[in-house]
Amino acid sequence: MFITGATSGIGAAVAARFARSGAELVLLGRDADKLQQIATSLGKNARVHTLVADLADPSSITSVVERTAEHVTSLEALVHAAGTFTPGSALDGSRAALDTMLQVNVHAPIALSRALLPYLEKTRGTIVYINSTGVQRPQGLTGQYIACKHALRALADSLREEVNSRGVRVTTVYPGRTATPMQEALHDAEERVYYPERLLQVEDVAELVECAVNLPKTAEVVDLFVRPMGYVKP
């Protein structure tokens, strides 16, 4: 399994969950120290390879693919958990922030999906995109970010039509507000108190990813929407 954004949040939780089941993992993150900490936390018996790369840098994709080929010959799943968020409205957000969000949240998933597809075809594997329920109900200060997430949704839906015939499944998971560093930043921008215990937990989302990946090959989950139970804005 190949997981982007593996140094924190949902990506780290997905790595922990699949490590417990004995999966071989390729973990990608931009912080070498955090990536090593995650790899160590998975236990000495975990089969883990780490790749340090910044997906905000387009040139990093080629290096990632080359180094992946050095580590694995088989890939059951590709989980796109990496993401970046800068608060900003659709009208007033900065161009630089939008360019970075487009690169990390859209361009990088496209490039990695294309590059790693041959591995997934061999195993009739699964591609999982972590999106956001914001595509259903956008809110203030997220205009540019949600525009990127709509693009990612379109990518997943189009790709599914192209690769199902090759035996590859495509699933999008849409978490609501989840207790992650990104969500904490959003609360700060909204000038609201952050109560992580009231939100979805990263382990909740990781469990959904596991369910989608481990389904019989005769079934495919297309969209999974999940939200915090009983969440009320403080």
**Residue tagged active-site, from 119, 129, 145, 174:** 145
Report the chain's terminal Cα–Cα distance, integer Å: 38
- Tokens, residue 62: 């080629």
Q: How far apart are CA 216 and CA 16, in angstroms?
A: 22
Active-site residue flag, 194: no
The residues spanned by each domain of the chain are: 2-226
Number of Cβ within a 10 Å radius of residue 95: 8
Name the more confident of 54 and 139.
54
Of 76-80, 91-95, 114-118, give the lowest mean pLDDT range.
91-95
DSSP state of 201: P
- Residue 138 pLDDT > 80: no
Average pLDDT rounded to a whole number, residues 30-36: 95
Pairing label, strands 48-52, 169-175: unpaired
Q: How far apart are CA 76 and CA 23, in angstroms?
A: 9
Q: What is the pLDDT of residues 161-175, one digit of tens each?
A: 999 999 999 999 999
Q: Are 48 and 36 a contacting pair, CB within 8 Å?
A: no
On the 0-12 / 13-18 / 19+ scale of CB atoms within 10 A, 153 is: middle
Q: How far apart are CA 51 and CA 5, in angstroms?
A: 11
Which fold, 2-226?
Rossmann fold (3.40.50)
What pLDDT score does 205 carry? 97
pLDDT band at 35 (very low <50, low <70, confident <90, very high): very high
- pLDDT more than 90, % of the chain: 74
Residues 6+ apart with CB under 8 A from 195: 234
Q: What is the pLDDT of residues 9-28, one digit of tens each?
A: 999 999 999 999 999 999 99
What pLDDT score does 45 carry? 87
Q: What residues form DSSP beta bridges with 10? A: none
Q: What is the pLDDT of residues 192-212, one digit of tens each?
A: 888 999 999 999 999 999 999
Q: How far apart are CA 25 and CA 1, in angstroms?
A: 5
Average pLDDT rounded to a whole number, residues 42-55: 92
What pLDDT score does 232 carry? 59
Name the more confident of 143 and 165.
165
Pairing label, strands 77-80, 223-226: unpaired
Q: What residues form DSSP beta bridges with 51? A: 28
